[in-house]
């Protein structure tokens, strides 16, 4: 009898162990873009290393944040990558936890600006992007953000809609060029409103710009550096502008879900993603610009990224609190002046 | 067919329960959001929405485009359907196949084709400049015209199919009889064809109008945010402003517009046949 009991207990233990190995699952919530590359360079190697299973949820920021909010009491996602402003929004809604950076071996390798972008210890930057103007160099010369609304580009320019990630940074730089820059972006929105008939379209997806450029619908548009690669493959003389007011951009960050039962595993995953090896692999495939300052890439690769301490330091980023506190004002101002 | 009413109801029950749970209930919950505020039930979301000039512009534009597409689809649809039903059987089959063919292609692909056709270097502009009608390419993309053309192409087959079916059911000798009695072609259409095919027109008109109101891809791609329609505005409110109350108001307006169009078309058809 005892033998039987022992044998069944052993079987139960084995079963329980197998079940716990199966349950070691990390659920991450990420942007939908370049998922094949992320799977090859980040997810698969991490799964092999941790012996765990990675569940990847994708979607745009709003959808993903709404889902996190809906599952607040019983979180499904363990870690997420979002924009700086969305990270602050998640902090304000009580959706995320402070990140214990002492558990991240690669933390000190990050550019200072990526270590704690919102100054609240709740997020860590893993990639940057510069935003500037891409243009047909055989048709025009772009030297200022004000050129977007100038006569030379009238009828040949696409601007990002205020609702996109590139919208507010573009308006911020137009305001800078106009010499009237306030957080409500009023002057820039009014200037765009006056010239709205000269704008071919207010794009919502940067992917549509390559086709518009190819069809000669447009000669110039502000874009994030992550969209640049598509333009370089076109058989057209296309340049990345270095406007005198500088470049703007954005930073994407990692956050840890409040109440997640896998925070240690999530921290391991974050550390893995921030490692020099993984950040280099992502940079070399032009997936993401590195936030790890130890990453070294060839000049040809660097040319297509937001790369190097100087570049990163000179990006004029809109502070998250400004973006968050003014979103509604921007949208209503935009709808009143440009949308009608 | 059924032995009793209970048997028929029992057979319909699974489908009814399924539709109620996965369709009706979520729609009702969503729509209820628009009638609530912090103090309880209220229509303030609706009055607030309609008092915004942008929202009114978008509402009127959606209504105008939906109505124009429906009327033009009916005019072209009658001509095409009449031509098709008078073809010999083999030709009729082939032509119906051609009408149905676009419905098998994704609306995204069909809409993208218009970007190529209507672009600055597209076929239309090439034709216009080569015959000397314009010196500079005309801007079609991201205008109401482009959205109109895209929607018309998208929904015209539905109107043609509805009218073909209606014309097929018309008594074969009605038109010759009217002609023998001295009616001209306009009178034949107005007094014979139209009353006898009103059911098809109501079905086709409702499908085209409702489809134009609720299509998202075509206005988003061909109009962009310069030609906002109610459905693109709804998407904007949800994805950018996370404003589900406005979204529910827009959804309610779209549903009411669809039902109103159906009622109006039915009423017009009945009024005509009573005369």
Chain B residue with CA closest to A167: the answer is B240
Plot region of A183 (φ>0 → left; ψ -120 to 50 → alpha; else → beta): alpha
Of A124-128, B73-77, B242-246, least confident by mean pLDDT is B242-246
- A195 at the B interface (CB within 8 A)? no
Q: Which residues of B touch A335 (CB under 8 A)?
A: 52, 54
Q: What is the pLDDT of residue A219?
A: 96
For residue B35, report the phi and psi dihedrals to the nearest 5 degrees.
-105, 15
Partners of B250 in beta bridges? none
Compute the C-alpha angle B232/B238/B244, nearest 5°.
120
For residue B57, report the phi and psi dihedrals to the nearest 5 degrees.
-60, -45
Give the C-alpha separation, A113 to A312, whole Å.
Answer: 8
Confidence of residue A3 (pLDDT cuts 50, 70, 90): low
C-beta of residue A316 within 8 angstroms of C-beta of residue A322:
no
Q: Which tens digit of pLDDT belongs to each residue from B66-120?
A: 999 999 999 999 999 999 999 999 999 999 999 999 999 999 999 989 988 998 8
For A328, residues 6+ apart whose C-beta sits below 8 A from its C-beta are B241
Q: What is the pLDDT of residue B1?
A: 58
Give the closest-approach CA distance of B119 to chain A in angstroms: 7
Here the tokens at position A200 are 């071919």
Q: What is the pLDDT of residue A247?
A: 93
3-state secondary structure of B13: helix
Measured from the Cβ of residue B98, the count of other Cβ atoms closer than 10 Å reads 12
Give the C-alpha separation, A164 to A158, whole Å.
Answer: 13
Q: What is the pLDDT of residue B77?
A: 97
Here the tokens at position B25 are 């209930």
Q: What is the pLDDT of residue A13?
A: 45
pLDDT at residue B9 tops 60 = yes
Q: Which residues of A touch B239 (CB under 8 A)?
A: 60, 62-63, 163
pLDDT at residue A339 tops 80 = no
For residue A203, report the phi and psi dihedrals to the nearest 5 degrees.
-75, 150
Plot region of A51 (φ>0 → left; ψ -120 to 50 → alpha; else → beta): left
Compute the C-alpha angle B251/B253/B254, nearest 5°.
65
Consecutive H or E run containing B91 = helix B89-100
| pLDDT, chain A, mean | 89
C-beta of residue A227 within 8 angstroms of C-beta of residue A306:
no
Give the C-alpha separation, A90 to B3, whole Å.
Answer: 60
> Helix axis angle, B144-168 relative to B53-85, nearest 10°?
40
Give the C-alpha separation, B108 to B98, whole Å.
Answer: 19
Here the tokens at position B15 are 């489908």
Give the closest-approach CA distance of A27 to chain B in angstroms: 23
Query: Which of B53, B120, B139 is closest, CB to CB, to A215?
Result: B120
Give the C-alpha separation, A126 to A251, whole Å.
Answer: 8
Partners of A220 in beta bridges? A135, A157
Q: Which residues of B touch A327 (CB under 8 A)?
A: 240-241
| Eight-class DSSP state of A183 | T
Q: What is the pLDDT of residue B136?
A: 84
CA-wise closest residue to B142 among B226, B231, B59:
B226
3-state secondary structure of B164: helix
Q: Which tens digit of pLDDT belongs to each residue from A8-64?
A: 444 444 444 444 445 589 999 998 888 999 999 999 999 999 999 999 999 877 778
Chain A residue with CA closest to B240: the answer is A163
pLDDT at residue A181 tops 60 = yes
- Pairing mode, strands A96-97 and A157-160: unpaired
Q: Could you tell me how far CA A64 lies from the centroid of its own chain?
A: 14
Q: Which residues of A touch B121 (CB under 8 A)?
A: 215-216
Which contacts of A189-196 are long-range, i.e. CB under 8 A and separated by 24 or more positions?
A: A189/A162, A189/A330, A189/A333, A189/A334, A189/A337, A189/A338, A190/A337, A191/A149, A192/A149, A192/A159, A192/A337, A192/A338, A193/A337, A193/A338, A195/A149, A195/A154, A196/A338, A196/B226
Q: Which residues of B touch A89 (CB under 8 A)?
A: none
Confidence of residue B2 (pLDDT cuts 50, 70, 90): low
Q: Which tens digit of pLDDT belongs to each residue from A226-246?
A: 888 889 888 899 999 999 999
Q: What is the pLDDT of residue A328?
A: 84
Q: Do B226 and A201 touch (CB under 8 A)?
A: yes
Give the closest-approach CA distance of A296 to chain B in angstroms: 37
Q: Which tens digit of pLDDT belongs to each residue from A131-178?
A: 999 999 999 999 999 999 999 999 999 999 888 889 999 999 999 999
Q: Which residues of B touch A331 (CB under 8 A)?
A: 240-241
Q: What is the pLDDT of residue B265?
A: 87
Consecutive H or E run containing B239 = helix B230-239
Q: What is the pLDDT of residue B157?
A: 97
C-beta of residue A249 within 8 angstroms of C-beta of residue A169:
yes
Give the C-alpha separation, A83 to A252, whole Å.
Answer: 4
pLDDT at residue A4 tops 60 = no
Confidence of residue B31 (pLDDT cuts 50, 70, 90): confident
Query: Which of B115, B120, B225 is closest, CB to CB, to A204?
Result: B225
Give the closest-approach CA distance of A209 to chain B in angstroms: 12
Q: What is the pLDDT of residue A244?
A: 95
Consecutive H or E run containing A86 = helix A84-92
Give the C-alpha separation, A63 to B115, whole Å.
Answer: 29
Burial of B10 (0-12, 13-18, 19+ CB in 10 A): exposed
Of A214-218, B174-178, B187-191, B238-242, least confident by mean pLDDT is B238-242
pLDDT at residue A82 tops 50 = yes
- A216 at the B interface (CB within 8 A)? yes
Q: What is the pLDDT of residue A205?
A: 80
CA-wise closest residue to A278 among A95, A127, A120, A74:
A127
Task: Give this prediction's pTM.
Answer: 0.77
C-beta of residue B263 within 8 angstroms of C-beta of residue B210:
no
Give the C-alpha separation, B160 to B199, whole Å.
Answer: 13
Q: What sections of A108-195 are H helices per DSSP?
A: 112-115, 167-178, 186-194
| pLDDT, chain B, mean | 90
Q: What is the pLDDT of residue B269?
A: 76
For A305, residues 6+ apart whose C-beta sits below 8 A from its C-beta are A225, A283, A286, A289, A290, A297
ipTM: 0.70
DSSP E strand stretches across chain B: 36-37, 40-41
CA-wise closest residue to A307 among A261, A257, A247:
A247
Q: What is the pLDDT of residue B273?
A: 58
pLDDT at residue A7 tops 70 = no
């Amino acid at each position: 009898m005892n033998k039987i009991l022992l044998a069944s207990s052993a079987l139960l233990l084995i079963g329980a162990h197998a079940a716990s190995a199966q349950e070691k699952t990390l659920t991450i919530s990420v942007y939908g873009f370049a998922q094949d590359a992320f799977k090859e360079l980040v997810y698969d190697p991490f799964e092999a290393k941790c012996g765990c299973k990675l569940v990847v949820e994708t979607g745009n920021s709003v959808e993903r944040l709404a889902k996190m909010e809906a599952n607040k009491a019983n979180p499904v996602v363990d870690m997420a990558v979002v924009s700086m402003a969305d990270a602050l929004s998640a902090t304000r809604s009580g959706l995320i936890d402070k990140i214990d950076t002492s558990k991240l071996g690669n933390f000190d390798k990050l550019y200072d600006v990526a270590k704690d972008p919102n100054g609240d210890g709740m997020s860590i930057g893993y990639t940057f992007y510069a935003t500037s103007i891409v243009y047909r160099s055989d048709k025009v010369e772009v030297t200022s953000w004000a050129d977007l609304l100038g006569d030379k580009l009238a009828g040949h320019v696409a601007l990002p809609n205020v609702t996109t990630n590139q919208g507010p940074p573009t308006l911020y730089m137009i305001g800078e060029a106009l010499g009237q820059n306030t957080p409500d972006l009023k002057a820039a929105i009014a200037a765009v409103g006056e010239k709205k008939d000269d704008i071919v379209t207010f794009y919502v997806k940067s992917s549509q710009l390559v086709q518009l450029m190819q069809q000669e619908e447009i000669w110039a548009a502000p874009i994030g550096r992550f969209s640049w690669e598509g333009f370089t493959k076109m058989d057209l003389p296309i340049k990345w502008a270095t406007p005198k007011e500088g470049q703007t951009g954005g930073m994407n960050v990692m956050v840890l879900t409040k109440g997640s039962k896998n925070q240690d595993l999530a921290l391991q995953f974050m550390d893995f993603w921030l490692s020099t090896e993984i950040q280099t692999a992502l940079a070399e495939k032009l997936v993401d610009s590195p936030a790890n300052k130890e990453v070294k890439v060839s000049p040809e690769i660097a040319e297509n990224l937001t790369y190097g301490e100087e570049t990163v330091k000179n990006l004029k980023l809109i502070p998250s609190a400004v973006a968050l506190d003014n979103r509604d004002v921007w949208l209503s101002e935009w709808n009143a002046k440009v949308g009608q | 067919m059924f032995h009793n009413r209970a048997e028929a109801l029992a057979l319909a029950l699974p489908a009814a329960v399924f539709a109620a749970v996965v369709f009706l209930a979520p729609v009702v919950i969503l729509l209820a959001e628009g009638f609530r505020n912090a103090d309880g039930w209220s229509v303030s979301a609706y009055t607030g929405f309609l008092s915004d000039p942008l929202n009114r512009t978008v509402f009127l534009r959606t209504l105008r485009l939906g109505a124009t597409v429906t009327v033009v689809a009916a005019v072209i649809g009658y001509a095409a359907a009449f031509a098709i039903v008078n073809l010999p059987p083999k030709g009729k089959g082939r032509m119906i196949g051609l009408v149905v063919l676009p419905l098998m292609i994704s609306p995204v692909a069909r809409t993208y084709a218009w970007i190529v056709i209507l672009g600055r270097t597209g076929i239309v502009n090439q034709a216009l400049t080569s015959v000397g009608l314009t010196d500079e390419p005309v801007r079609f993309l991201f205008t109401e015209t482009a959205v109109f053309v895209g929607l018309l192409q998208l929904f015209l087959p539905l109107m043609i199919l509805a009218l073909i079916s209606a014309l097929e059911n018309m008594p074969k000798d009605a038109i010759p009889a009217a002609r023998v009695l001295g009616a001209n072609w306009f009178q034949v259409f107005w007094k014979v064809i139209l009353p006898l095919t009103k059911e098809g027109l109501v079905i086709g008109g409702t499908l085209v109008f409702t489809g134009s109101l609720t299509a998202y891809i075509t206005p988003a791609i061909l109009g962009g945010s310069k030609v906002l329609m109610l459905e693109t505005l709804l998407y904007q409110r949800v994805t950018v402003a996370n404003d589900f109350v406005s979204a529910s108001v827009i959804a309610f307006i779209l549903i009411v517009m669809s039902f109103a169009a159906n009622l109006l078309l039915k009423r017009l058809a009945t009024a005509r046949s009573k005369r």
